[in-house]
């Protein structure tokens, strides 16, 4: 199932980032991903299907403010599992259907 939600990025330290995808349609388990460095963060966001301009804008916002929020992102459950943003058993045992 494809879910629409938002991506939140929080920077901590010099090079570390936490990234979370929060679906709009249920308050289920959200697993943050820890990434190191700007290049790894940019690659991960592109892997989520986020367009290059939005990635560039998010990186700038993280640099300036320490966090960024990207609304209106659609990601399939399977892709979230592949990227490590959700555990597969959460989909079968949790509220996601």
**Domain boundaries, given as residue ranges, for the chain:** 2-93
How do the pLDDT tens digits run along the chain, 97 residues long?
888 999 999 999 889 999 998 888 765 557 789 999 999 999 999 999 999 999 999 999 999 999 999 999 998 888 888 888 876 655 555 554 4
| pLDDT of amino acid 96 | 45
DSSP structure class, residue 13: T
Other Cβ atoms closer than 10 A to 52 = 10
Structure tokens at 37: 């460095």
Task: Give Cα separations from 36 to 12, 15, 19, 32, 58 (angstroms).
Answer: 10, 5, 11, 13, 16
Other Cβ atoms closer than 10 A to 83 = 16
Q: Residues 87, 29: contact at Cβ < 8 Å?
A: yes
β-sheet with 16-23: strand ranges across: 33-36, 16-23, 2-12, 67-76
């Amino acid at each position: 199932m494809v879910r629409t939600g938002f991506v939140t990025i929080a920077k901590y330290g010099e090079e570390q980032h936490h990234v979370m995808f929060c679906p709009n349609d249920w308050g289920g388990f959200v697993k943050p991903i820890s990434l190191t460095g700007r290049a790894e963060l940019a690659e991960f966001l592109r892997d989520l299907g986020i367009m290059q301009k939005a990635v560039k804008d998010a990186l700038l916002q993280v640099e300036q403010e320490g966090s960024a929020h990207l609304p209106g992102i659609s990601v399939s459950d399977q892709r979230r599992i592949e990227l490590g943003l959700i555990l597969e058993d959460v989909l079968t045992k949790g509220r996601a259907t």
